[in-house]
Structure 1
Amino acid sequence: MSKALIEDIFNEPEWAEETAIPATDGELLMLTERISSFEIPIQVFLQAVAIAAYDCAAAFRYADNYLISHQKNKRKNLRVFRSLRNFENN
Structure 2
Amino acid sequence: MSHGVNNVRSRWTLPDYKPTQKYENAYRVTARFLLWVEKTKNRKVVDKLDAALRDGTYQPEMWVKLTGLTVDQLWKEYGDDPALALTYK
Looking at secondary structure, tell me which structure has more helix per residue. Answer: 1
Q: Looking at CA atoms only, which structure, 1 or 2, has the larger radius of gyration?
A: 1
Instruction: State TM-score, norm by structure 1.
Output: 0.28
